[in-house]
Amino acid sequence: MSGPWAPDFFWREAQRLGYVARSAFKLLQMQKQFKLIGAGASVLDLGCAPGAWLQVACRSLGPLEKGGAVVGIDLKKVHIPSHHCDSRVKTICADVMNLRKDQARAFSPQGMGFSVILSDMCPIVSGITTKDAALSCELGKRALSLAIGNSSCKNTSEFLDSFEDDTSENGVLRRGGNVVIKLLESKDTEAFAKFCKQRFRNVSWLRPKATRSSSKEIYLICQGLR
């Protein structure tokens, strides 16, 4: 088999190491470079199917006695992988675009919110670059809105839009927390970084080594919610 979806080095490594998808290596690289998930963290994984990031997030929590939690949400029903996941991982089948902040908060340990929010959500790619990028922006904005809330600074509601069914203004990311958002690169992606620089201590872009050369994906990494 050849072409952009052919099994490659990362696919083979995923098989060898018990990860359910090659995407595991994207989060592993982020963990290595940015140390986003500490021992005992509470992690919300948006767009978690088939579960490779659940595996990496759970491993990053450290031993079971350190505590912590990983909550994955996806449109698809996800079977929690048997490798690299333990009782701290839970999954929910839901559309993040319709998820209210109070519902998301209720999934966090003691309802206290999350210390890390990951969004690897991606629309079904149509091949129409501008359409795909616009849909990816919508998913990214929803993830950011869930994380930091709608009214946390003056231009927040302008940038994130208001989600009419969502009256709760506070986000579900704890102060000091980290967010990762996947976007498909377009003329609009730089506005995300500009906006996030006002709200987070460090903001960086990463195109992981495991990203396929044909893909436009890029990850915005925001650390330390002010």
Ligand X SMILES: C[S@@+](CC[C@H](N)C(=O)[O-])C[C@H]1O[C@@H](n2cnc3c(N)ncnc32)[C@H](O)[C@@H]1O
Q: Which is nearer to ligand X, 73 or 153 (CB)?
A: 73
Q: Which is nearer to ligand X, 5 or 153 (CB)?
A: 5
Q: Which residues here bind ligand X, judged by CB under 6 A?
A: 21, 23, 47-53, 73-76, 95-97, 120-122, 139
What is the full DSSP assignment across 17-70?
A: HT-SSTTHHHHHHHHHHH--S-TT-EEEEES-TT-HHHHHHHHHT-SGGG--EE
Q: Least Å distance between CB 54 and ligand X?
A: 7
Q: Which is nearer to ligand X, 200 or 219 (CB)?
A: 219
Q: Least Å distance between CB 135 and ligand X?
A: 9
d(CA 107, CA 139) in angstroms, rounded, equals 20
Q: Tokens 């509601």 identify what position?
A: 157
- Which residues are CB-contacts of 84 (< 8 A; sequence separation ≥ 6)? 18, 19, 55, 56, 58, 59
Active site residue 26: no
Q: Which is nearer to ligand X, 122 or 198 (CB)?
A: 122
> What is the end-to-end Cα distance of the chain in Å, rounded?
48
Q: Which is nearer to ligand X, 125 or 193 (CB)?
A: 125
Q: Least Å distance between CB 21 and ligand X?
A: 5
Residue spans of beta strands (DSSP E) within 80-210: 89-93, 114-119, 173-184, 200-206
Burial class (CB in 10 A: 0-12, 13-18, 19+), 199: buried
Cβ contact 139:96 at 8 Å: yes
d(CA 162, CA 151) in angstroms, rounded, equals 9
Cβ contact 107:48 at 8 Å: no
Of 42, 20, 167, 165, which is closest to residue 111 (Cα–Cα)?
42
Choose, from 35, 141, 182, 194, the residue flagged as catalytic.
Answer: 182
Catalytic residues: 182
